[in-house]
Amino acid sequence: MLSAKKPFTLLLFLSVSACSSYQSKHGLFDSPSHNQAATNEVSLEQTGQMPAAFRKLEEPPKYFAAADLLSVPLESETYTISEDAPSNGRFAVFAIKTEDGAYTVQGRQFMEDHIHELNALAVLRERNKAVAFAKSAGTAVITPIKSVYTTVTAPVTAAKNVYGNAKGMVKSVRKGVGKAATFVKTRGNMPQETAEREEDGFISGFFGRPDAIRKIAFEMKVDPYTHFTPLRDEMTELANYHAAGQFGVDQGLGFVPGVGSIIISGLKTADSLTKKTLLKDPEAMADINRERLAKAGIAKESTEPFLLNAHFTPTEKTIFTGLATEAKDLEGIDTLMKHASGAKSRPQAFAALMQVEMLGRLHESSKIKKVEVHHDVVVAYQADNTANIVLPYDYLSWTSYNAKTIWKVTRSLAAKDVKTRDVRFVLAGDLSKNSRKALESRRWGVKRNLIADLL
């Protein structure tokens, strides 16, 4: 079963590139389907008649003021966040403008994390002086260009002045990477995006120091394999300086405002093998993860689709693997992994990871014994037979779609003889008055703000 001594925690380096508008393959975010919602509103067939109270309580999604949701300022040298944050009934949607472009981020948790990525990016750009790429005998050579600029009064502005050369460098290198990617083994049906991310052996031929990139990322508390390409580009540039002997990685780092990737707490509770695996290159990480899951007896048909899913980073796959092996005796662990593997967008992947964190917290207090998935919703059973419907939402509004989804899930549980008094809804965030009225009208329990300390 899950360890009772330490939380079943996943919170580490979840890159929030999660729900931006998709720019292009080489745009701000390299994960496909960034503009998809965390949950797709597919057609729901009714099983029985929904209670009249459900329909009467239906409401539009809540409209938030961004300042009321976020712990960070709405404006800084590096970004501007719109004052309005509409909701889709489950997650708040934030509009943000940066020097790299304008896009949206879905989810309060996503946004807090992404702001840390932007802060890390600003620090790296400040550190990375202009770099010029020269080609000699077909080999990329790094030549530092000395430039004098003031970082005291306007560090970000200073960084912008020298970033033009860096962009040229990135463009040149990407051409080479594009060609090299054709030689990357794809492990059969591995998506091309995954192939490029899961193997950094060819990257070292162009960037020289993937190990240095990992060191930089971990020290700055961001994912070295983040889908946010500007940040990854800047980590690469700093690693190249290190490889060229210009300065050590430690010297290139500075204070990054913020608490770090929201989910940094996971590093403290991760098992030793998981921590060691995180220091490996992605290909080695994938091999170790496969071996660990196989030894844990978790069915390959559940684990392989997850390990090949491009919407999760190698870091997240490794953390998830560590948690799954610790929970190998949990009934339904195969089902949980299969559910996660079905993520069709970065937001959906993030939601799956949030659910794992929520399960860990529930287990600490209530000892989870079994996990099921009903209509794409995770249900966790306690030893006392309480069926916890786990919803990783910022805020549950009683929209027509949410009402239908909840009715379908609860009808499915009733068909398994789960008593009404044993049903409890567990939310990451909060819920509307109408949502509470609807749930309590059926005598279902409600637990809100399960991870409010992170939200």
**171 pLDDT exceeds 90?**
no
* 183 against 449, higher pLDDT: 449
What is the distance between the alpha carbons of residues 402 and 415, in angstroms, rounded to a whole number?
A: 20
Pick the CATH number of 367-454 from 3.40.1350, 3.30.70, 3.90.1570, 3.40.190: 3.40.1350
pLDDT score at 347: 84
Average pLDDT across the chain, whole number: 74
> CA 241 from chain center: how many Å?
29
What is the band of 217 on the pLDDT scale with cuts at 50, 70, 90? confident
What is the distance between the alpha carbons of residues 181 and 118, in angstroms, rounded to a whole number?
A: 28
**166 pLDDT exceeds 70?**
no
Q: 242 is written with which tokens?
A: 């290190």
What is the mean predicted confidence (pLDDT) over 50-68? Answer: 94
pLDDT score at 53: 87
Q: 291 is written with which tokens?
A: 């071996």
pLDDT tens digit sequence for 393-432: 999 999 999 999 999 999 999 999 999 999 999 999 999 9
pLDDT score at 433: 97
> Are 193 and 30 in contact, with CB atoms under 8 Å apart?
yes
**122 pLDDT exceeds 90?**
no
* 334 against 42, higher pLDDT: 334
**139 pLDDT exceeds 60?**
no
Q: Give the chain's end-to-end CA distance (angstroms, integer).
A: 28
- Beta bridge pairs of residue 331: 370
**351 pLDDT exceeds 90?**
no
What is the mean predicted confidence (pLDDT) over 274-282? Answer: 86
What is the band of 146 on the pLDDT scale with cuts at 50, 70, 90? very low
pLDDT score at 208: 45
Q: What crossing angle do the helices spanning 300-307 and 314-326 adopt, rounded to 10°?
A: 160
What is the distance between the alpha carbons of residues 444 and 342, in angstroms, rounded to a whole number?
A: 28
Domain ranges of the chain: 262-365, 367-454
pLDDT score at 250: 42
Neighbours of 52 (CB within 10 A): 9
Q: Match 């030549």 to its residue by tokens.
A: 143
Q: Smallest Cα–Cα separation from 380: which of 336, 327, 321? A: 336
What is the band of 152 on the pLDDT scale with cuts at 50, 70, 90? very low
Most confident of 144-153, 197-206, 254-263, 440-449: 440-449
pLDDT score at 245: 52
What is the distance between the alpha carbons of residues 217 and 230, in angstroms, rounded to a whole number?
A: 13
What is the distance between the alpha carbons of residues 300 and 436, in angstroms, rounded to a whole number?
A: 40
pLDDT score at 340: 94
Q: 313 is written with which tokens?
A: 């980073």
What is the mean predicted confidence (pLDDT) over 90-113? Answer: 91
- Beta bridge pairs of residue 426: 390, 447
> Are 103 and 77 in contact, with CB atoms under 8 Å apart?
no
3-state secondary structure the chain: CCCCCCCCCCCCCCCCHHHCCCCCCCCCECCCCCCCCCCCCCCCCCCCCCCHHHHHCCCCCCEEEHHHHCCCCCECCCEEECCEEEECCCCEEEEEEECCEEEEEECHHHHHHHHHHHHHHHHHHHHCCCEEEEEECCEEEEEECCCCCCCCCCHHHHHHHHHHHHHHHHHHHHHHHHHHHHHCCCCCCCCHHHHHHHCCHHHHHHHCCHHHHHHHHHHHCCCCCCCEHHHHHHHHHHHHHHHCCCCCCHHHCCCCCCCCCCCCCHHHHCCHHHHHHCCCCHHHHHHHHHHHHHHCCCCHHHHHHHHCCCCCCHHHHHHHHHHHHHCCCCECHHHHHHHHHCCCCHHHHHHHHHHHHHHHHHHHHHCEEEEEEECCEEEEEECCCCEEEEECCCEECCCHHHHHHHHHHHHHHHCCCCCHHHEEEEECCEECHHHHHHHHHCCCEEECCCCCCCC
Neighbours of 298 (CB within 10 A): 22
What is the band of 20 on the pLDDT scale with cuts at 50, 70, 90? very low
**Out of 4-8, 57-61, 208-212, least confident range:** 4-8
**365 pLDDT exceeds 60?**
yes
